[in-house]
Chain A
Amino acid sequence: MIETERDAEFIIKAQKGNKNAYGEIVKLYMKRAYFSALSIVGSHDDALDLSQEAFIRAYQSIKKFDTTKTFYTWFYKILRNLCLNHLRNKSNRVNSFSEILEDLENIKDENQSTEKMVEQNETKKIVWQAIWKLTPEDREIITARDILNTSYEDIAGLLQVPTGTVMSRLYYARKRLRKIIEELQ
């Protein structure tokens, strides 16, 4: 069963007021929503709160949702707006590297020396700081592609732009990231 058909069954029930059916939708997409929010706002608590708030708003408008479309694409628009508004209303602080990312210690490579791993961790910290200095839109596209491994087609669907535009935005975002890294080093 394809994603849209599977979701439609639950959504039609949710549109009739069945909260448990909506709960199934939430369970299917909560991790994706949380990590998308985390990659934009860079804080665990905010990502949790904003992703839950987006599910609440989506439920409040669920009757308007066209079940032939992809739920997550529709939902992502709500989530993205909430995250971007949140960043605009909040003073931007550089989020702790260790709060968001797995330490290299947790992804041990038998072939690498401790010094090499420490050095890599330091470089990662600089890159993370640079990612955080990007605009939320640049950060969103870089993290979607490079950290969350989202395909170009999926990013295009989520941002509702052609794939060519995704590639072009990604190219310029990567160039801006490179410039910031050079300034930080």
Chain B
Amino acid sequence: MNIELNRFQTLLNKALDNMLTDEERIEFNSLLASSNEYQEEWNSLKQIKEITKTMKLKNPPEEMWDKYWLGIYSRLERGIAWILISIGAIVVLIYGGFKAVESVIQDPTLAWFLKAAILLLIAGGIILFVSVVRERLFLRKSDKYKEIVR
């Protein structure tokens, strides 16, 4: 990039933010005097800055701040509740599944090939589940771009 242009950008930003030193102000003024384009850019950006610096984000009602932490605390608590519910549900489901398989195997009225098919179905489901979970965990650990917004 053109060194002069680069310097102009730096000085322009500082001028807009009222941060020029005396020396920089002299340098900036001489740059402005050397080019109409610089002068025009300075004028238009100064006008915008005059407006943006008067903009003020609205303060929310004071009670919002009083309830802010409580809102986070409640959501954290709910998160823990969901974890406990999930663990409980998984245990109940595994136990229920085990009992169901047990009753199928012990049922003398069911044909052997039907029992084998049910077992194959369950084994397939378990392998699929483990594979997906492992893949997710591996990606979570090794994806160095996980923090990057895609």
A-side binding surface: helix, strand, loop or mixed? helix
Known A-B contacts A23-B73, A167-B13, A170-B13; the reply to A142 vs B52 at CB < 8 A is: yes
- Stretch in A2-10, A65-73, A144-152 touching the partner: A144-152
User: Known interface pairs A142-B52, A178-B48. Does A171 touch B76 (Cβ–Cβ under 8 Å)?
Assistant: no
Are B13 and A56 within 8 A (Cβ)? no
Q: A88's contact among B10, B13, B16, B149, by CB below 8 Å, is which?
A: B149
- Contact of A178 with B51 in the complex, beta carbons under 8 Å: no
- A81: interface (CB < 8 Å): yes
Interface size counted on chain A using CB atoms at 8 A: 51
Which residues of B sit under 8 angstroms from A26, Cβ to Cβ? 68-69, 72
Q: Are A181 and B48 in contact (CB under 8 A)?
A: yes
1/0 per position for A56-68, CB-CB distance to B under 8 A? 1001100000000
List chain A positions with a Cβ less than 8 A from chain B: 19, 23, 26-27, 30-31, 34-35, 38-39, 44, 48, 52-53, 55-56, 59-60, 77, 81, 84-85, 88, 99-102, 104, 107, 120, 123-124, 127-128, 131, 142, 145-148, 152, 164, 167-168, 170-171, 174-175, 177-178, 181
Report the separation of the CA atoms of residues A77 and B13 in the bound assembly, to the nearest whole angstrom: 25
**The residue from A34, A52, A120 contacting B75, defined by CB atoms under 8 A apart:** A52
Determine whether the beta carbon of B57 is less than 8 Å from that of A177. Answer: no
Do A44 and B60 touch across chains, with their CB atoms under 8 A apart?
Answer: yes
Q: Which one of A56, A77, A84, A120 lies within 8 Å of B72 (CB-CB)?
A: A56
Cβ of B45: which chain A residues have Cβ within 8 Å of it?
Answer: 174-175, 178
Bound: A81/B136 CA distance, A: 21
Residue of A nearest to B12 (CB): A171
Q: Across the interface, which residues of B come within 8 angstroms of A55, CB to CB?
A: 72
Residues of A contacting B94 in the complex (Cβ-Cβ under 8 angstroms): none
Cβ of B9 and Cβ of A81 under 8 Å apart? no
Name the distance in Å between B1's Cβ and chain A's nearest Cβ: 9
Q: How far is the CA of A168 from the CA of B10 in the complex (A)?
A: 7
Q: B147 at the A/B interface (Cβ < 8 Å)?
A: yes
What's the nearest-Cβ distance from chain B to residue A8, in Å?
Answer: 20
A30-B69, A171-B13 in contact; A147/B48 too (CB < 8 A)? no
- Name 11 A/B residue pairs within 8 A (Cβ), A-sorted: A27-B69, A52-B71, A56-B79, A60-B79, A102-B58, A107-B56, A127-B51, A128-B55, A148-B57, A174-B13, A175-B41
